[in-house]
Amino acid sequence: MPRSGTADGLYYEVHDKGPDDTRAVVVLSAGLGGSAAFWAPQMPALSAQFRVLLYDHRGTARSVRDLPEGHCVDCMADDIVAVLDELGLAKAHVVGHAAGGLAGLAMALNHPDRLDRLAVVNGWAGPDPHVARCFATRVSLLNDSGPEAYVHAQPLFLYPAGWISENHDRLALEEPHHVAGFPTREVMLARIQAVLDFDIGERLGEIPHPVLVSASADDMLVPVSCSRKLAERLPNATLDIVPWGGHGFTVTAPDAFNASLVAFLSGETH
């Protein structure tokens, strides 16, 4: 069983072999939904080789359910450091999906000595018109129709059409749980605004860390061009693009992602 606790209101879990486990630590930071449960498809592969630290983003899931005024991506990076501090960990690898990847990039800039390797999954360095259009649609759904409509539409942004059809029953079963755990409207809007405001395009050259930029060519929410631009401007990046899987390809096609991720974190690539 994992050890769990809270750090400044943030729920976390440590999956390791006990106090004497000296393996490298990997922090997993989810996307906009914020829940550590997002990473279930990665846990067997990662926990076999690393200590794994999961946490729920501030304002979501089992963490404190409100946000301080002025919430931003830098704040998300500070939260990762707060969890590391609570556990007495000097440094860790960070793997972040979308919003979690942005938090990892901000951590690389603001807390460079606390980061070893970074994996950014379907992320970006600054504003993109398509991403903004998608989020405007999601905001309208939330404001005009409520959390139920937002959650019901979410798979359209996350997964390929065929996968949605084949997994209809699974998605239908999960939907009430997502609605029940949905953040308040104010929290979700603040989280969306935080990622839309993120813009470090002019500072990417300041990040020396090895970065795996991982993306899916058919991501409907974040164009793969965002990952290409990110990798081109980072001094020490490896770009890994899978042909299929959508924004949530860590869920729809986990095996290929897990293999490339473990190889990168182990130092076998780049």
* pTM higher than the cut 0.85: yes
Question: pLDDT tens across 96-115, in order?
Answer: 999 999 999 999 999 999 99
- 55: which strand partners? 12
Tokens for 98, please give them.
Answer: 């979308």
SS (H, E, C) the chain: CCEEEEECCEEEEEECCCCCCCCCEEEEECCCCCCHHHHHHHHHHHHCCCEEEEECCCCCCCCCCCCCCCCCHHHHHHHHHHHHHHCCCCCEEEEEECHHHHHHHHHHHHCHHHEEEEEEECCCCCCCHHHHHHHHHHHHHHHHHCHHHHHHHHHHHHCCHHHHHHCHHHHHHHHHHHHHCCCCHHHHHHHHHHHHHCCCHHHHHHCCCCEEEEEECCCCCCCHHHHHHHHHHCCCEEEEEECCCCCCHHHHCHHHHHHHHHHHHCCCCC
Cα 126 from chain centroid? 16
d(C-alpha 251, C-alpha 81), whole Å: 26
CATH of domain 3-265: 3.40.50.1820
Tell me the per-residue pLDDT of 5-39, one tens digit each, with 9 for 90 and over: 999 999 999 999 998 999 999 999 999 999 999 99
Average pLDDT, the chain: 97
Confidence of residue 1 (pLDDT cuts 50, 70, 90): confident
Q: Where are the domains of the chain?
A: 3-265
What is the structure's pLDDT at 269? 75
